Amino acid sequence: MSDKIIKNGRVATDDRLTVSLAEGEAATDIAVPAGPVLVPLAVWQARRDELLARARSGEVGVWLAAGEDVAAVAGDLQVLQVIGLHFPKFTDGRSYSAATLLRNRHGYKGELRAIGEVLRDQFNYMTRCGFDALQPQAERYTDAQLEAAIASIDDFTQPYQHSVKDPQPLFRRVERGPDTQVQQ
């Protein structure tokens, strides 16, 4: 089954499966299906040599659970064309920090995908942190709702804070003349 995602500002059909480990299932024993997949970090670490060629071709990507250290994949960023970061619930923002670290500290240039509890209210923040693919849960939004969400991603044209998208905070981006006074 194909899911709809937002990728690089457009609604796209996506066939990439997200593989999960069942409780008690060993990373070495899980079946990794053919075709495009995201495997959990534990599976990548346990079976890296086996999955390396598929990763180089873009078929296999890795996803990290909220709280898993991005340094665990830092040595493989040239190989991994897709990295997913999981949002387990709306109030858990650890994957925002992981995205920013991957983009800014580690210089990751591949696809950074938000997976899990990915909600429209978060799309602007996710793109500002460096996500270029947003994967809401299957059938959460209609195509029309996704199109409307894309149109609203840039509702806030001048955010105050710096981000991956805007490396300078607003006070550094705004030109002020010599006669400008700050009100107190």
Quick: pLDDT tens for 38-57.
999 999 999 999 999 999 99
Whether the pLDDT of residue 178 is over 90: the answer is no
pTM recorded for the entire structure: 0.84
Residue 150, pLDDT score = 84
Lowest-pLDDT choice from 2-11, 15-24, 91-100: 2-11
What average pLDDT score do residues 109-120 get?
A: 94
Residue 141, pLDDT score = 86
What average pLDDT score do residues 1-14 get?
A: 84
What average pLDDT score do residues 86-95 get?
A: 93
Taking the C-alpha atoms of residue 35 and residue 15, their distance in angstroms, rounded to an integer, is: 8
Residue 152, pLDDT score = 78
| CATH homologous superfamily of 3-158 | Aldolase class I (3.20.20.70)
Residue 160, pLDDT score = 53
Residue 139, pLDDT score = 82
Residue 1, pLDDT score = 41
Residue extents of the structural domains in the chain? 3-158
Whether the pLDDT of residue 83 is over 80: the answer is yes
95-112 core/surface letters (b: 16 or more CB in 10 A; e: else): bbebbbbbbeeeebebbb
Q: Which residue would you say has higher pLDDT here, 160 or 101?
A: 101
